[in-house]
Amino acid sequence: MAVQAMKEGAFEFIQKPFRDQDLLDRINHALKQDAENRGTVARRAEVLHRLESLTPRESHGKNGRALDCSSREAALDAEQ
């Protein structure tokens, strides 16, 4: 039963009998984790939106350098 519940998306499985406080603690933990996950999704969407709004020059530089170049490399690239 627990394996099937987890496969179907259950956050956690609690066996009976359980204390009310254990249930409340697990619910609060699940809510906290959900809020963190939603924050991560929102930050990722914001980053993707910003990346999509970059011009080709901003995203690749004059010489086709990628965004992952070092700041020193980017400065040298800007001088050229």
The whole-number pLDDT of residue 22 equals 93
Supply the range of the domain harboring residue 40. Answer: 17-79
**pTM listed for this prediction:** 0.54
The whole-number pLDDT of residue 14 equals 85
In a domain, residue 1? The reply is no
Closest to 74 in 3D by CA, of 59, 54, 53, 52: 59
In a domain, residue 2? The reply is no
User: 64, 72 in Cβ contact below 8 A?
Assistant: no
Q: What is the pLDDT of residues 7-53, one digit of tens each?
A: 888 878 888 899 999 999 999 999 999 999 999 999 999 999 998 89
In a domain, residue 11? The reply is no
Total structural domains within the chain: 1
In a domain, residue 4? The reply is no
